[in-house]
């Protein structure tokens, strides 16, 4: 197929591009090269034979050129992260939602009928939990007063008891709890609107905590694994927020790329969401300790710090992706941590520049 890949120069995009080429697809690779994602002056040289476009998906004329003549679109381009404050909201809405809407409108004009969309586990918020008294419930909000007191577990909204953690499947209702999460939920709704109106197919890939080679470092969008390895390379202990017991599903970027390409190739009808995770929940503290051991660095420090809007626990049931598309993760967590540690040693962090 001839495939348009947006966000092609990004962390996940580079791996998706590599796998698309390995599968024999013709790729048009697009990226905005925005400086808050790619350091100023960063060069982007796609592999030979790949048509590269630099531009913004919010630009209608540029989008019309980008979608012309392609068979399918993999849309990864987005502003990611939690944001610093409420002033970030307009940029999330513009970059992610307006950008996606312009891309979908361009696809409709060009008659492109297949979309694979990078979504996120954050659309679920806290997912759901099990209360000993009330069964399966949507966790209540975590109040700042409770977090400040070191009470990190989300409560039952009925009786305020602590909840047991449950896996979320794709039918779990949305409950986005920050601007980024809200923008990803909106992207899915726009994609579903487009698919129904245009007779297209849309696969929503709800990525869990992605790590691996090429993770961004020292940017606002660095994942927790990148933050930990950056600290360890400086000889500092990784600092773990809350009590370190937040549960996540850490999935390797090569596995995420394989799932994305598989969905692009095989999902050809209707709207379908797929959780993309390893299927084995681990804590943030587990990851920090694994990286500290692999890098022979200082033990993690549990800080008790917190950020409003952070999700306490979110872990996925990825069985639909395995069952319907025949995908399975191939990278073991321990092997992935060892690889990540080795790469961080080979590519030492840049020295910090003091402000003044």
pLDDT at 162 over 90: no
User: pLDDT tens-digit profile of 191-225?
Assistant: 999 999 999 999 999 999 898 998 876 554 457 88
**Least confident segment among 33-42, 300-309, 315-324:** 33-42
Instruction: Give the model's confidence band at 119: pLDDT under 50 very low, under 70 low, under 90 confident, else very high.
Output: very high
- Integer CA distances (angstroms), 256 to 123, 168, 276, 308, 318, in order: 17, 18, 7, 28, 12
Q: For residue 354, what pLDDT is reported?
A: 30
Cα(256)–Cα(251) distance, rounded to whole angstroms? 7
User: pLDDT tens-digit profile of 260-275?
Assistant: 999 999 999 999 999 9
CA angle in degrees (0–180, nearest 5) for 178-182-83: 40
pLDDT at 92 over 70: yes
Q: Walk me through the domains of the chain, giving residue ranges and CATH numbers.
A: 2-128+166-346 (3.40.50.720)
Cα(222)–Cα(254) distance, rounded to whole angstroms? 17
Q: For residue 40, what pLDDT is reported?
A: 56
pLDDT at 350 over 60: no
DSSP H helices, 299-353, are 319-325, 333-346
Cα(274)–Cα(324) distance, rounded to whole angstroms? 10
What's the pTM? 0.88
Cα(228)–Cα(293) distance, rounded to whole angstroms? 12
Instruction: Give the model's confidence band at 318: pLDDT under 50 very low, under 70 low, under 90 confident, else very high.
Output: very high
Give the residue-averaged pLDDT of 15-28: 98
């Amino acid at each position: 197929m001839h495939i348009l890949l947006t966000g092609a120069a990004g962390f996940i995009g580079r791996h998706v591009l590599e796998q698309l080429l390995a599968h024999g697809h013709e790729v048009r690779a697009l990226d905005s090269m925005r400086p808050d994602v790619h350091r100023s002056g960063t060069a982007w040289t796609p592999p030979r034979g790949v048509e590269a476009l630099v531009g913004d998906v919010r630009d209608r004329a540029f989008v019309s050129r980008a979608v012309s003549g392609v068979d399918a679109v993999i849309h990864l381009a987005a502003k990611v992260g939690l944001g610093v404050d409420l002033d970030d909201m307009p940029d999330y809405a513009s970059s992610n939602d307006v950008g996606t809407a312009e891309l979908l409108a361009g696809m409709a004009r060009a008659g492109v009928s297949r979309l694979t969309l990078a979504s996120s586990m954050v659309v679920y918020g806290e997912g759901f939990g099990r209360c000993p008294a009330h069964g399966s419930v949507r966790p209540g909000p975590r109040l700042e007063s409770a977090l400040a007191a070191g009470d990190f577990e989300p409560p039952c909204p009925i009786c305020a008891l602590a909840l047991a953690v449950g896996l979320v499947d794709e039918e779990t209702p949305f409950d986005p709890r920050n601007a980024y999460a809200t923008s990803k939920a909106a992207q899915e709704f726009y994609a579903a609107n487009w698919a129904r109106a245009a007779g297209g197919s849309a696969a929503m890939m709800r990525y869990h905590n992605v790590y691996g080679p090429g993770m961004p470092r020292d940017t606002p969008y660095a994942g927790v694994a990148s933050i930990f390895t950056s600290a360890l390379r400086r000889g500092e202990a990784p600092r773990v927020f809350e009590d370190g017991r937040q549960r996540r599903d850490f999935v390797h970027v090569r596995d995420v790329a394989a799932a994305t390409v598989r969905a692009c190739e095989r999902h050809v009808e209707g709207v379908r969401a797929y959780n993309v995770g390893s299927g084995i929940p681990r804590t943030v503290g587990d990851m920090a300790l694994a990286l500290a051991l692999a890098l022979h660095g200082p033990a993690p420090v549990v800080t008790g710090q917190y950020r409003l809007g952070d999700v306490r626990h979110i872990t996925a049931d990825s069985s639909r992706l395995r069952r319907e598309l025949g995908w399975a993760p191939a990278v073991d967590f321990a092997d992935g941590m060892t690889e990540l540690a080795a790469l961080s040693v080979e590519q030492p962090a840049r020295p910090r520049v003091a402000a003044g």
